[in-house]
Amino acid sequence: EKAGIDAGGTLCKVAMQTEKGWVYQSFPTKQMKECIRWLNTHCVHRHLCITGGKASIIRAKLKRQDLTLIPEFSASCAGARELLNNEGHTSLGDFILTNVGTGTSLNHVKGMKQEWMGGTGVGGGTLIGLSGLLTGVYDYSKLIQCAEHGKRDSIDLTVARIYEGETPPIPGDLTASNFGAASAESISPSPADQVASVIGLVAETVTSLSVLAAQKAEVKTVVYIGSSFVDNSLLQGIVTRYSRQWGLTPIIPEHGSFCGAIGAALS
Ligand code: ATP
Ligand code: MG
């Protein structure tokens, strides 16, 4: 029996295989002590496989001999395959795996192998950090709740607004400039509007990169994972719509934030 741990920059995710299916748990990486205590109570009889940027810190604190370190990208890709299989996407071919964690990474998943295609520093950390600087609120669930009723049109500039009355060469509803409509003259937007625009920036950045990666890799499916999608219907919605506009099939698996931990547990 194994347990997989994905210790990322923001959250530490744990996945355990049981007769009833996968059991999940997560902790803020800043509260490492709590995570170690939980692992020492719930995973004593399990072999632990650890991945993520903070894997060796966890290993040092656990003081156990039976620990295996797993490379992050192979863990998340293996975990994504497992989750997609469980969700009924059985005949899925190759795809782009876009992991929107603290930062964002893109992999081309080919069979059981993967190739890193790059990434962007715009990710879930940007969602919290930039929203925090704008509104003073740095709490993830408060921010996504706040953004739910936010409107982007006083902050973001669409293509249609630049082409006023003319026929634009590309769809008018695309964002021409994130935050490009903000100015000293316009009335200051509400915190809800500001956070919605930050989420729009993150969503459109990670989707644009995914579209280009999918074109380069000649695949039609993009699988989006990472905790940035948790309870975040705004991010999910923009990413889904924008991917479809480009003729791609987006998949955002439930529990996609646990891909790394699942992949580690299966290794
Ligand atoms: P990385 O892979 O880049 O090292 P990570 O693995 O820690 O980072 P994830 O756990 O996939 O990253 O995602 C972290 C992001 O998810 C945060 O930046 C935030 O936007 C969002 N998030 C979701 N739930 C929470 C939470 N409870 N606390 C803080 N952030 C959360
Ligand atoms: Mg991660």
Is the same domain home to 124 and 212? yes
Bridge partners of residue 25, in order along the sequence: 14
Residue 50 belongs to some domain of the structure? yes
Q: 30, 37, 105, 35: which is closest to 73 by C-alpha? A: 105
Q: How many CB atoms lie within 10 A of CB 230?
A: 18
d(CA 181, CA 158): 9
Residue 112 belongs to some domain of the structure? no
Give the number of the atom of ligand 1 that is nearest the alpha carbon of residue 104: 3
Q: Is 167 helix (H, G, I), strand (E, B) or coil?
A: coil
Q: Which residues contact 203 (CB under 8 A, 6 or more apart)?
A: 234, 235, 238, 239, 242
Residues 93, 219: contact at Cβ < 8 Å? Answer: yes
- The answer to whether the CB of 228 is under 6 A from ligand 1 is yes
Report the pLDDT value the prediction gives residue 87, as an integer from 0 to 100.
94
Is the same domain home to 76 and 138? no
d(CA 132, CA 129): 5
Residues 145, 105: contact at Cβ < 8 Å? Answer: no
Answer yes or no: 72 catalytic.
Answer: yes
Residue 103 belongs to some domain of the structure? no
Nearest ligand (C-alpha, residue 227)? 1
Bridge partners of residue 98, in order along the sequence: 106, 224
Is the same domain home to 128 and 238? yes
Report the pLDDT value the prediction gives residue 1, as an integer from 0 to 100.
84
- CA 96, 99, 103: angle at the middle one, nearest 5? 135
To which residue do tokens 């956070």 refer? 195
Residues 213, 117: contact at Cβ < 8 Å? Answer: yes
Distance in Å, CA 12 to ligand 1 centroid: 9
Nearest ligand (C-alpha, residue 260)? 2
Is the same domain home to 50 and 168? no
Q: Is the ipTM of this complex over 0.95?
A: yes
Distance in Å, CA 195 to ligand 2 centroid: 22
Is the same domain home to 157 and 171? yes
Is the same domain home to 137 and 244? yes
- Specify the length of the chain in residues: 267
Report the pLDDT value the prediction gives residue 90, as an integer from 0 to 100.
84
CATH number for the domain that contains residue 203: 3.30.420.40
Number of domains in the chain: 2
Q: Which long-range contacts (CB under 8 A, 24 or more apart) does 174-181 make?
A: 175/200, 175/204, 178/204, 179/155, 180/156, 181/153, 181/154, 181/155, 181/156, 181/157
In which domain, by residue range, is 138 found? 120-253
Q: Enter the pTM of the model.
A: 0.97
Residue 63 belongs to some domain of the structure? yes
Is the same domain home to 262 and 241? no
Is the same domain home to 139 and 218? yes
- The answer to whether the CB of 101 is under 6 A from ligand 1 is yes
Is the same domain home to 86 and 131? no
Q: Where are the beta strands (DSSP E) in 64-140?
A: 67-69, 95-100, 104-110, 113-120
Report the pLDDT value the prediction gives residue 65, as an integer from 0 to 100.
83
d(CA 148, CA 129): 18
Is the same domain home to 78 and 161? no
Residue 106 belongs to some domain of the structure? no
Catalytic residue among 1, 19, 34, 72: 72
Residue 180 belongs to some domain of the structure? yes
To which residue do tokens 């395959």 refer? 81
Distance in Å, CA 133 to ligand 2 centroid: 23
Residue 37 belongs to some domain of the structure? yes
Report the pLDDT value the prediction gives residue 187, as an integer from 0 to 100.
87
- Encoding tokens for residue 124? 């879930």
Nearest ligand (C-alpha, residue 31)? 1
Tell the residue nearest (CA) to atom 6 of ligand 1.
Answer: 8
Residue 68 belongs to some domain of the structure? yes
Is the same domain home to 72 and 34? yes
Is the same domain home to 231 and 262? no
DSSP state for residue 151 in the 8-state scheme: -
Compute mean pLDDT per 10 residues along the chain, 267 residues long, and list them. 96 96 96 96 94 96 91 97 94 95 98 96 98 98 97 97 95 96 93 98 98 98 98 98 98 98 97
Determine whether 157 is exposed, middle or buried from the number of CB atoms within 10 Å of its CB (0-12, 13-18, 19+).
middle
Instruction: Tell which one of 10, 51, 76, 233 to mutate to probe ligand 1, the residue whose CB is within 8 A of the most ligand atoms.
Output: 10
Distance in Å, CA 101 to ligand 2 centroid: 5
- The answer to whether the CB of 104 is under 6 A from ligand 1 is no
